[in-house]
Structure 1
Amino acid sequence: MNIIAVANQKGGVGKTTVTMQLAAIMSRRLRVLVVDVDPQQSTVWWAENARARLPFDFAGNQHPNVLARMRDLGVDYDVVIVDTPGSLEDTPRLETALDASDFVIVPMTPEPLAVEPTMRTITRLIEPRHLRHAVLLNRIDGRLGSQLDTWREVLDQTFGVPRFEGYLRQYKTHADAPVLGQLVTSVGDNRRTQGSIADVTRLGYEMTEQLSSATNGAW
């Protein structure tokens, strides 16, 4: 079982979207559980709206201590994806979740105000625990041709942090998904949705490869 935390102390970077959509796409091949340890409980609201359309198991409103007990209890999942708090006030809660995790996805939006909290999350909380991690660029505006390359260069050259090759573009389908209870696995594949489905599918494959390489002892 691999526990994946989705974490960033910057709020509004899309942690819940990444958690829910990645869980949905990975559930096509793996046994997936989503755990919400964020007091805001955004995934709980989403899951309640989705109801029977959830393709994975869901455990909302949990204390992060439950994560450490999962291995001892022999929980029968391939992947557990954890939505974590996004504020400084909840740092102890986030630290408890990270202590139990095997990998951390760090969503980051392409805006200057996201840089400092993202790097703080990595340098103060993730790297000292020697956790495998990667930044995921989220809400990339496809109309701005140079945006993706610019922010990839910032991550690669300025900060030298691991990142996913995949990224999530900004789509209305992602913005509407929580209130409609929709996931990439429950919407039709058409011109309106195919971009968002492709982005999440690419992320799912890359995340699966990261976990496989961890098993083989490689980065």
Structure 2
Amino acid sequence: MTEIDSRPAREVAVSMVIVAVANQKGGVGKTTVAMQVGAELSRRHRVLVVDVDRQQSTVWWAENTRDRLPFDFAGSQHPKMLSRLRDLRAEYEFVLVDTPGSLEDTVVLETVLDAADYALVPVTPEPLAVDPTLRTLSRLIEPRRLRHGVLLNRIDPRVPHQLETWQRLLDAELGVPRLESHLRQYKVHAEAPVLGELVTSLRRNRRTEGTIADIACIARELEQLLSPALAGAW
């Protein structure tokens, strides 16, 4: 695992993007997004995944991974260390931070958002997820004028028009920015932490092809949104 320290960064002209995976609503898939999108981005870029959530879900997943992690990982980080993320600009192109999903850890989340370039806000298609998500946006993300996008997660392909209904809700009724890409609900996502699997270690077959495609689309969209100069790598 990687330690965030205060050593000066080497003088190398590298653009680094810090993405906070954030929502004060728990259980919306922040850990899955941070780990899997981080793995997908690592196919082309130097990536660091940081865990500041007291639940330490990404730490457990990382320790359970059978193969070598495709990215650097910093778990159990003290919030004060987050101010030093910018010192790593010569080491990484993408830093993804898995953040707490509770009101009790608002100070930690604020520290991450202060350091971030973009907030990726996963949300599940459940009515109870709407208010906490809007609160996260209106109270924490928008006042910082931080670029952000909502990511629809756990879209059930078996439910007719679920995706379109929630896209319309975000676009027309709530008026919040969202990613065009989304994550469908697959058993692979639920099993991945237990089996120690990441998208980079999955064999492409009928069981995994949907998951692999969804994660790849999110990574490409983030790359195009945040780092146009790197988009040609895809």
> Structure 1 residue 73: deviation in Å?
5.3
> Structure 1 residue 53: deviation in Å?
3.0
Determine the structure 1 residue equivalent to 2:220. Answer: 205
C-alpha separation in 2, matches of 1:208 and 1:66: 26
- 1:151 aligned to 2:158? no
- Is contact 1:65-1:97 (8 Å) kept? no
C-alpha separation in 2, matches of 1:164 and 1:74: 25
Q: Deviations over 1:25-62 (max 9, x none)?
A: 00001100000000100000000011543100000000
TM-score by length of 1: 0.95
- Is contact 2:61-2:193 (8 Å) kept? yes
**Amino acid across the alignment from 1:100:** A
> Structure 1 residue 105: deviation in Å?
0.3
Gaps of 5+ in 2: 1-15
- 1:89 aligned to 2:89? no
Give the aligned length: 215
Q: Which stretch has the larger CA shift, 120-129 or 43-52?
A: 43-52
Q: Which stretch has the larger CA shift, 52-61 or 96-105?
A: 52-61
Determine the structure 1 residue equivalent to 2:149. Answer: 134
Aligned CA-pair RMSD: 1.4
> Structure 1 residue 69: deviation in Å?
1.1
> Which of the residues 40, 46, 55 maps onto 2:55?
40
Distance 1:105 1:214, change over 3 A: farther
Determine the structure 2 residue equivalent to 1:191. Answer: 206
Distance 1:214 1:162, change over 3 A: farther
TM-score by length of 2: 0.89
> Which of the residues 8, 16, 22 maps onto 2:37?
22
Determine the structure 1 residue equivalent to 2:120. Answer: 105
Gaps of 5+ in 1: none
**Amino acid across the alignment from 1:12:** G
- Aligned residue for 2:20, secondary structure, equals strand
- Is contact 1:110-1:138 (8 Å) kept? yes
- 1:65 aligned to 2:68? no
C-alpha separation in 1, matches of 2:163 and 2:79: 34
**Amino acid across the alignment from 1:18:** V
C-alpha separation in 1, matches of 2:111 and 2:68: 30
